[in-house]
Amino acid sequence: MSDEARWQALIDREVVGEALSLEDCEFIARYEEAHPELVAERALWERAVEHLGALEPTSEEHLAGLGAQILAAHRGEDRGEDRGEDRVEEGAPTGGAAEAPASASASASSEEASGSSGRWVAAALVSAAAAAALWWIVASPSGVAGEDDALAGGDAGGRTVTDTSPQPRPAPSSGDTRAQPVPTTIDTEARVALLAGLEREPDQGAGLGAGLSPGAALDLAGGRGCLVWTEPTAVICAEGAQVALVPGQDPGERRLRLDGGLVVAALDPLGPGQRFTVETVLGSVSAVGTVFAVELDEGRARALVLEGEVELRDSGAPRRLRAGRASSLHAEVHEEDVEVEALARLSARVGELATLAEPWRRGDALGGASLEVSGSGQAVELDGRRLGMSPLALRVAAGRHVLLAGEEAHTLDFEEGVSIALQLEPSEARAPAPAPSAAELAAEAQRHRMARNYEETARLYRELLDRHPDSSEARNVPVRLGDLLMGTGDYQGALEAYDRYLDEGGPGWAGALAPEAALGRIKALEALERDEEASAAARDFAVRYPDDHRADAAEDAPSESSPL
């Protein structure tokens, strides 16, 4: 297959919502960079498919007219013309639509002798023909009529189409003459599918199987939880997160606010005008059918895409992020090294949550049976998927499942509408639990910090430094520990933490957070009334970082801070 044929096949698959591999996405980017004229062809094909959710083909003449209308709209935009709304008046002769492609082709030939116009004409007509075939697969069974029915032309058989859309079509924005898809009303109620290892019982009405509507919130501190939407299916699985369902900006949007922690969303392809958005204080991530993750951690937000493509919106212009790539939202340039490290850790964590979400996504249902596991502190797996720590409750599909709790395996047969309760008894003979990993200690410390349990957070930071001093998770912990202890009034402990970062054995002065560690050290010395050492440290900071705007104010920095 030639590169051009491969490119064409890939954009055909992408434009109808199929998730492409990272290799295919990179090929498209390279090929379009070498052939910029093909970007316009992709836009033309997307234009054709965009009409599918609002048009109902009635005849070959109708489809031919659609091809000509799309071509005219595309070429009019290329010339910067303000065409207003594209419309064919009711009662237009039946043959008018059939004649449009020929006239469009002749006009294109006269404008560009190079032959590229013929390419656009062919693309428009092929797009319209392909759209007809695709429509029977992806269009809404009931169809949504509106202004695009007038655009499609006609009453070829005296047929009248009535506007049955549940909401008025939003007006096109200024300068945008393209047809706007009618937002399709979407089910916004989510049901709780999993609650595992939570520090606190969920609020009344937010238990297993409960329906959560916009306005509801769920605190998953210390554990995990999953929510399931249907028609179309969407699943989110979160860890240590605070989430809230918020009203969408239009009837076709599901919207989730993430106030902290990690959430992975697994979505089936959505219809025209439908979106799924995860918003944070630093920006939002939106998708129309994909698997992606969003993390809000210590004032930084990050996104990672496993399948498909998402749109990021933060302080800059909206941008797209494809499968296999990650990005920070509203990231500072000087924190680039820190973000690269954090994104690598994020990539390692999201796979387990994505695997956890997959059965609900694949099954297209919440599950008709329930399982409750009581007894605290044991890791629980179901059919090879790690659910989290007990106690937990989840919804499962009827049938046989294998549950592993600690080292004990249980084969359970579930019937529709039946709940199974399992009590885990602690075993004195059980071997001691293995030492927690660096990732587990870092995640646990973060959960306690978000809950403002600063004493426990400091203990976990110290354990992480003692058990895994060379791990990537421990690299910046001395600075975090120092900041935390400054806020709690332990200035000597803070000084020792900052010194640990800067001295041999730590990242040292070449570390990404060396300036922050040095400033923290100055504040700690001032708080301990070791003024001469503080002044010397401030002079040293000015020598090392002469361009840093904080150098002049280092000696005047306040000696008290908050751990927040």
> Each residue of 327-375: pLDDT tens digit?
888 754 435 555 566 666 777 678 888 888 888 888 767 788 898 988 8
Domain boundaries, the chain: 36-152, 190-363, 369-423, 438-556
pLDDT, tens digit, 9 for 90 and up, residues 32-74: 878 877 766 666 666 555 555 444 444 555 555 555 555 555 4
Residue 552 carries which DSSP code? T
CA–chain centroid gap for 479, Å, is 29
pLDDT of residue 339: 59
**Could you tell me if 198 and 220 are in contact, meaning their C-beta atoms sit under 8 angstroms apart?**
yes
pLDDT of residue 342: 67
pLDDT, tens digit, 9 for 90 and up, residues 122-142: 444 444 444 443 433 333 333
The H or E element spanning position 77 is helix 60-78
Return the amino acid letter for 420: I
User: Helix, strand, or coil here: 175?
Assistant: coil
> Nearest-CA neighbor of 301 among 288, 292, 291, 289?
292
In sequence order, which ranges of 427-513 are alpha helices (DSSP H)? Answer: 438-450, 454-467, 477-488, 491-502
pLDDT of residue 173: 43
Return the amino acid letter for 291: V
**Considering just the CA atoms, what is the radius of gyration of the chain in Å?**
29
Distance CA 188, CA 248 (A): 9
The H or E element spanning position 234 is strand 234-246
Fold exhibited by the domain 438-556: 1.25.40
Task: Tell me the CATH architecture of domain 190-363.
Answer: Sandwich (2.60)
Both tokens assigned to 83: 């065409």
User: Helix, strand, or coil here: 402?
Assistant: strand
What pTM, to 2 d.p., does this model score?
A: 0.48
Cα angle, residue 351 at apex, residues 350 and 354 outer, rounded to 5°: 85
| Through-space distance between the first and last CA atoms of the chain, rounded to whole angstroms | 57
Distance CA 3, CA 390 (A): 52
**Could you tell me if 158 and 75 are in contact, meaning their C-beta atoms sit under 8 angstroms apart?**
no
pLDDT of residue 348: 67
**Could you tell me if 169 and 344 are in contact, meaning their C-beta atoms sit under 8 angstroms apart?**
no
pLDDT of residue 126: 42
Distance CA 383, CA 51 (A): 43
pLDDT, tens digit, 9 for 90 and up, residues 387-424: 888 888 998 888 899 988 877 888 989 988 888 888 88
Distance CA 464, CA 445 (A): 9
pLDDT, block means (10 residues), the chain with 564 residues: 80 69 78 76 61 48 54 50 40 38 38 39 42 39 35 33 36 42 73 90 84 92 92 91 90 91 90 88 85 83 86 85 82 52 71 85 80 84 87 89 84 89 69 78 89 89 90 89 91 92 73 87 92 90 83 56 48
Q: How would you label 239-263 residue by residue, b for 16+ Cβ within 10 Å and e otherwise?
A: bbbbbbbbebebbbbbbbbbebbbb
Burial of 543 (0-12, 13-18, 19+ CB in 10 A): exposed
